[in-house]
Amino acid sequence: MESKQHKVVAIGGGTGLSAILRGLKKKNLDITAIVTVADDGGSSGKLRDQLDMLPPGDIRNVLISLADTEPLLEKVLQYRFQQGEGLAGHNLGNLLLAALQDMTGDFVSAIKELSRVLAVKGKVLPATLQQVSLIAEFTDGTRIKGESRIPTTGKSIKQVYIVPHDVEPLDEAIEAIQKADAILIGPGSLYTSIIPNLLVKGIKDAILAAKGKKIFICNVMTQPGETDHYQAIDHVKAVEKHVGERFIDYVIVQNGKIPAKMIERYRQQGAEPVKANIEILESQGYKVVADQFLKYNTYLRHNADKLSDRIIMILEGKGNQSSEKN
């Protein structure tokens, strides 16, 4: 007998969200991805400025991660033009979403049409249909506007905001959160990919009111200019500070060995492993799932299949069984 199809909402953006969705799509899950629209750099930023459209880059990555496509088609959709006036720097998948928006008349319809073509498993929704900008306030009291500029200052982030602050979420996103058996937050860039979604008031309120299990997936490595020297507890507290109250039930952390060569390679780029803080998190009432969740080639990434297995265990009520504690 096939197990119940659980409803899962995954919230974030960037490569982190895309990576875990590649594992989740193999499971018997009803998936909705809610994706940040605060990006203002690169191809997405140019299309946002020139066509007055929402930035498509994170949406594109999530669509591809949930798609049933041939490897060549994925490469084509991710292809970035290197030359050509007006084309250089643009990603083909971004241009395709721009064209579909022009043809269908709105961004959500464009996403749905591309989802149909790519045989996407689940729904992909922007956090809001309104243009937003991200502002960071640093611990020295200064502020900077623009998602792409925030990690470049070398300053410690105190808080981030979106403007306008009163943007409306999609009704579909709110409905998905209300019906979800689990709400996944992360992994990804903490202040520029994850938290901006939670600053959309309707989304924040829906998460706080939702009955589903709230699961935070902690990053494996710190991000230079954004989470320097952060441990797992710092990630959790930053998220809950921006939401305004405690709401996370489970915290998934990496707690296995990382090859010394990989650590040194990342250290040269200003990144370091995120300490798991298992005892601290548990002492504060969080349910902790700790394991060796890594796979590594050129870069360190979550093992999406193993992570998905543990998420299924949480959904089935057997989640907080840490295989390693130290």
pLDDT at 323: 43
| pLDDT for the residue 324 | 41
Residues of the chain short of pLDDT 50, as ranges, are 1, 322-326
E-assigned strand segments in the chain = 6-12, 29-35, 123-126, 133-138, 143-145, 157-163, 182-185, 213-217, 250-254, 287-291, 294-296, 300-302
Helices 57-66 and 92-104 cross at an angle (nearest 10°) of 100
pLDDT tens sequence across 170-206: 999 999 999 999 999 999 999 999 999 999 999 999 9
Q: Read off the pLDDT of residues 111-161 as tens digits, 9 standing for 90 and up.
A: 999 999 999 999 999 999 999 999 999 999 999 999 999 999 999 999 999
How far apart are alpha carbons 115 and 95 in whole angstroms? 15
The pTM of this model reads 0.94
Provide the angle, in degrees to the nearest 10, between the axes of the packed helices 14-24 and 57-66.
20
Show the domains of the chain with their CATH numbers.
Answer: 6-36+127-315 (3.40.50.10680)
List beta partners, residue 252. 217, 289
